[in-house]
Amino acid sequence: MNALALSVLPRPMRLLQRYDDGEDARHFTFQLEDIRAEDAGMMPGQFFMLVLPGCGEAPFTYVSRPDDQGRFSALIRRMGKLTEALFELQPGEVLGYRGPFGQGWPRFYGKQRILAVAGGCGLAPLAGFIEDVARTRSGTHLQVIYGARHVGARVLSRERARWSGALPLIETLDQAGPGHRQGTPLAHFDTVFGQAPPDAVLCCGPEVLMEAAARECLGRGLRADQIWLSVERRMHCGVGLCGHCYVGDSYACRDGPTYRYDRYRELLRRSGCARELDRGELRHC
């Protein structure tokens, strides 16, 4: 068969461990049976397809990169048929894996100021990036704002505990009790923009949050090409063939899920969503 053939055959992986990590969310550790160079070369922000025989497959981001034993983790929220079944699985059971797919976050070098804005489970696609910065001390100055609906809805508790010692992490809640910050991530932009504006902003969460955060950044003087989003679309093949994940004339599984905001806007404009964009009533295309 053609050496360029796309990966449609899942590779087996085992469920190693899982623990509850947020509302209806669990932190899963998987182990790939055969490890390939591309697994270890995964870029934060890329995703994999998790195949649950009998339940189809679905995209999830890596929370950690596959190690030399093929172990990696993902944070998964219970949503529908596949995740329900996944939550019932016992450690040791075999699932399928395809990946890594898509484009990760851009690479930053040197002493840049980066702001990461995450909402809800949108912290998961940013986790690998935050972890890399927290661990390598590359000189990159990273600030993170993480918003969730309430205390119990927050995900990645162990990771957050680790990061909070290594970098500025602002956590905020829609419904905050005593001792917690209140409001959406946008309510705290004054704090992070106060010292010096970031050189780049990475954003992942509900599309309304990302759109609102991007507009807020533009309003504060950032250019659209300094902002990156990670968008969510329905995905089946992960390799640009099945057609489900389109954003204008781009396939989010192949060209995304991370898009630079100016390019994302251009995609929407080209595909006829310009007016909605300008009116601020974003409908997705």
What is the x/- site pattern for ligand FES, positions 215-254, by CB under 6 A? --------------------xxxx-xxxxxx-----x-x-
76 has which bridge partners?
A: 26
Rounded distance, CA 201 to CA 225, Å? 10
Q: Please tell me the distance from the alpha carbon of residue 145 to that of residue 30, in angstroms, as a whole number.
A: 28
d(CA 22, CA 12): 27
- Of 36, 111, 223, 234, the residue at the interface with other proteins (CB under 8 A) is 234
Q: Whose Cβ is closer to other proteins: residue 130's or residue 273's?
A: 273
Is 138 or 181 the residue whose CB approaches ligand FAD more closely? 181
| Contacts to ligand FES from residues 140-169, by CB under 6 A | none
**Contact between 1 and other proteins per CB under 8 A:** yes
User: Exposed, middle or buried, 158 (CB in 10 Å: 0-12/13-18/19+)?
Assistant: exposed
Q: Provide, rounded to whole angstroms, the least separation between the CB of residue 238 and ligand FES.
A: 5
β-pairing, 141-148 vs 113-119, is parallel
CA distance 180 to 172: 7
54 scored as a contact of other proteins (CB under 8 A): yes
Instruction: Work out whether 66 is an interface residue with ligand FAD (CB under 6 A).
Output: no
CA torsion, points 264, 265, 266, 272, in degrees to nearest 10?
A: 110
Rounded distance, CA 46 to CA 59, Å? 10
Shortest spacing between CB 259 and other proteins, in angstroms:
14
* Residue list 165-184, contact with ligand FAD (CB under 6 A): 174, 184
Measured from the CB atom, the residue of 242 and 274 that comes closer to ligand FES is 242
Helices assigned H by DSSP within the chain = 37-40, 81-88, 124-136, 157-164, 189-195, 207-219, 261-268, 274-279
Q: Which residues of the shown chain bind ligand FES in the complex (CB under 6 A)?
A: 235-238, 240-245, 251, 253
Return residues touching ligand FAD (CB under 6 A). 60-61, 74-77, 119-122, 124-125, 147-149, 153, 174, 184-186, 204-206, 208-209, 212, 230-232, 257
